[in-house]
Amino acid sequence: MHRCHASQNEKALETHCMAWLERFRIQHVANKRIRTFSKGMTQRVALAHALACQPEFLILDEPLSGLDPIGRQEVVVILDEFRASGKTLFFSSHVLNDVERLADRFVFIDKGIIQAVCSTSEVLTECESGYIVTVEGGAGIDGFEKISSRLWQKEVKECDLPLLIDDISRNKNSTRNDN
């Protein structure tokens, strides 16, 4: 049906399909009914079927859901090999760590509307952990917001934290020297 090269010969087709079941480490269930499988096993069967058809473009919905940690890692390797072979993998996931491991680009969709399209590195830079820095003092520091009579606050990305600490130290020292 998918015009797979192995479909010309029934024995070759069986060998081809078994190779995919072996790749997903599920060859032992080749002759069992799918409805008896766990969610993770069913997921592996579906992925083996999809890849056995040798598609150029693969669309998957939550391909790693239901898999145990080892299964997730194995499937990520298989999907990464598919992608690395020059084929296109388009998938949805709510687990950003999974997307980060497999994707070249992210598309964020909210209520059916594309909100952003960006590269993995852009997302990681944007999502870089940050800190809320609170400084006590009578006078403010540029970029800080006054939150009480003597407290000032600013949100800072982790990579900018050392430079900010230096700035705060210099400001405190210059304030002391001016008095």
- Write the burial class of residue 31 (CB in 10 Å: 0-12 exposed, 13-18 middle, 19+ buried): exposed
Grade residue 127 by pLDDT with cuts at 50, 70 and 90.
low
CA distances from 82 to 11, 33, 90, 100, 129 (A): 25, 27, 11, 16, 31
The answer to whether the predicted template modeling score (pTM) of the entire model surpasses 0.85 is no
Mean local confidence (pLDDT), 84-93:
91
Instruction: Give the pair of three-digit tokens for residue 152.
Output: 């000032």
Say whether pLDDT at 126 is over 80. Answer: no
Return the pLDDT at 177: 47
**Pick from 15, 20, 17, 23: nearest CA to 77:** 23
Superfamily of domain 5-92: P-loop containing nucleotide triphosphate hydrolases (3.40.50.300)
Say whether pLDDT at 103 is over 80. Answer: yes
The per-residue pLDDT of the chain, averaged, comes to 82
Task: List the single range of 13-17, 62-66, 87-91 with lowest mean pLDDT.
Answer: 13-17
Grade residue 6 by pLDDT with cuts at 50, 70 and 90.
low
Return the pLDDT at 178: 45
Q: Spell out the domain ranges in the chain.
A: 5-92, 94-127, 130-178
Residue bearing the bigger pLDDT, 115 or 50: 50
Grade residue 179 by pLDDT with cuts at 50, 70 and 90.
very low
